[in-house]
Amino acid sequence: MAIPPDEARSELTAHLLDLLATPYSSGAEGPLADALERRYRDAGEVVRRVGNSLVMGGPAPAEAAVQRPGAPGERWSGTRPLVLLVGHIDVVPPTDEDRAPRVARHDGQEVVIGRGASDMQSGNAVAMRIFDDAGLRAESPYELVLVLYAGEEGPADGNELRSLLRAAPWLADAMLAIVLEPTDGDVELGCLGGLHALIRFRGQQAHSARPWHGRNALTMAGELLAELDRDHVRDVEVDGIAYRDVWSATQAWTAGLGPDEGSDRPFRNVLPASFTINLNFRFAPSRGLGEAEQELRERIGSRSDIEVEVVDRAPPAPPHRRTPIVEAFVAAVDAPVAGKQAWTDVARFAEFGVPALNYGPGLTTQAHQRGEFVPVDALVEADRRLRRFLLPQPGPEVG
């Protein structure tokens, strides 16, 4: 089903500008969710809503499920394999350089500027245009469902994707979830897991003129910080896909200066009795959360003057490189393949047993940047390549 390039450009640009018209940050997506819900209900689509998150398409909910979403036994029973087109509708707060969406020229190419242009309203624009194509949906070997959810850019407990998957359990029967996060047009498989741990060094307060009366908790951390400076990246391969484990000290404070140390500022002539480092460990999907936490604790070591408190955990997602549907996607899209060197919501799908991958038109270098933009050509190319997967062309006859 060939689509004229000029028609694709104009439709995708219009879709994206509509989504960018008002930048809705995490927690404030309600008006955009309202507009999207009206749009698809008016088009006659089945729509489920959980909070400010939406599922378009799929089976009509049973009467019990209308009152109580996620009623037990609500499973996928369609005749075609289920494929999900997935995107989050929230963005980070806008800046003066991207508050007003517009089309412009940048380095000789046409771009759309606006908060969320790359991360990830461009992916949503492509997903919506494909889902809106009734002819494609009728002819595709897959049943397409559009999932637009809220809260991805904010705190983890505000991310509504897990609630949506629980409210519509048939989504877990999907053969594949395509998460249209910005990937520069590459196919990025799996994702890293992540841990944040507070490493607290306990010393003894003393006068800085007589440090032998105490023990400086700040300098106690020197050996660990020097080690992290020397050895903070390790290459890991999973299913032939390259990832990197990364160890990063991202914050540090003495007693009275950190978020968990009270409000009294210490004097400059006092040796600190406590020094805390926030250690962020990003790890490849070669192991799970439990193994990664054990690895972190072993690296810090067991000492009575060091406390380790893991305060945030995000599971990784496997690449599923040898899964037939992922192989079919990679072959049809014919784009570079790599591992996702970050965390994305493919990990939430992994929790529910759904193979998922990252593929979208947005530019990773533009995510969260001031004056955020996306090339229109990138939208057109993502739309074209996705259609090659969703509507495979028959091969030549063998006579």
Q: Which residue has the tokens 């509504």?
A: 160
Please tell me whether residue 114 adopts helix, strand or coil conformation: coil
Residue 87, beta-bridge partner list? 148
Name the active-site residue from 133, 152, 160, 383. 152
Find out whether 359 and 93 touch, Cβ atoms under 8 Å: no
Active-site annotation holds for 42: no
Name the active-site residue from 11, 37, 45, 90. 90
SS (H, E, C) 134-176: HHHHHHCCCEEEEEEECCCCCCHHHCCHHHHHHHCHHHHHCCE
Active-site annotation holds for 223: no
> 24 Cβ partners below 8 Å, 6+ apart?
30, 31, 32, 89, 90, 91
Considering only CA atoms, give the Rg of the chain: 24
Cα torsion 160, 132, 350, 289: sign: negative
Cα torsion 382, 387, 392, 394: sign: negative
Please tell me whether residue 243 adopts helix, strand or coil conformation: strand
Residues composing the chain: 399
Residue 55, beta-bridge partner list? 48, 147
> Is residue 271 within a helix (H) or strand (E), and if so which, with residue range?
strand 270-271
Measured CA to CA, the distance from residue 374 to residue 378 in angstroms comes to 7
Q: Which residue has the tokens 């020229």?
A: 105
> Is residue 117 within a helix (H) or strand (E), and if so which, with residue range?
none
What phi and psi values does residue 388 have, to the nearest 5 degrees?
-65, -30
The residues annotated with a catalytic role in the active site are 90, 152
